[in-house]
Amino acid sequence: MQVILTTDMERLGVKNDVVTVKNGYGRNYLLPKRLAIIANTRNLNILKENTRQSNYKMEQMLGKIREAIAKMDASAIKVGAKVGTSGKIFGSVTNIQLADAIKKATGLEVDRRKITIGDEIKALGTFKAIIDFHPDLKHELSFEVVGE
């Protein structure tokens, strides 16, 4: 039996994959729980049209993301932190502070969960962070930690 998955299934496939499963597994588990639909001609045509539309939307979104990356690279991102007399900062710089600094500098909102900072930042200087905009598009951002 061929089915189209409606959700990601471990060991079976990802959403919108057409997979072949045993009849009993498909009829008794996947279809009643709405984890898959039958892969007939009508559903395959709908799937093809939906993937075409989602690819078009993805291309539009990637264009906007590339513009945002150019805007971030053009402006200097500075994160302010409270500094002690020895030059060490109190606490550490987090991805929340970096997201706020990006918003101040460029006006773009970046989800803090998509920002990855390598090590804890506990000193002043220039550091790098990786922003995961899309599974196919990651950007390494350079930012500077300055004292307030």
| SS3 of residue 8 by DSSP | coil
Overall CATH class of domain 65-147: alpha beta
Query: Average pLDDT, whole number, for the chain?
Result: 89
State residue 56's pLDDT score: 94
**pTM attached to this predicted model:** 0.62
Q: Are 143 and 78 in contact (CB under 8 A)?
A: yes
Please list, residue by residue across 34-50, b when 16 or more beta carbons sit within 10 angstroms of its beta carbon and e when fewer do: ebbeebeeeeeeebeee
Q: What are the tokens at 57?
A: 């939307």
Protein fold of 2-62: Ribosomal Protein L9; domain 1 (3.40.5)
Q: Are 82 and 148 in contact (CB under 8 A)?
A: yes
Instruction: Identify which of 18, 51, 52, 22 has the alpha carbon closest to the alpha carbon of residue 37.
Output: 18
Domain ranges within the chain, ordered by starting residue:
2-62, 65-147
Residue indicated by tokens 């008794």: 28
pLDDT in tens, 80-96: 888 888 778 888 888 99
pLDDT in tens, 14-66: 999 999 999 999 999 999 999 999 999 999 999 999 999 989 998 888 888 88
- Residue 12 confidence (pLDDT) above 80: yes
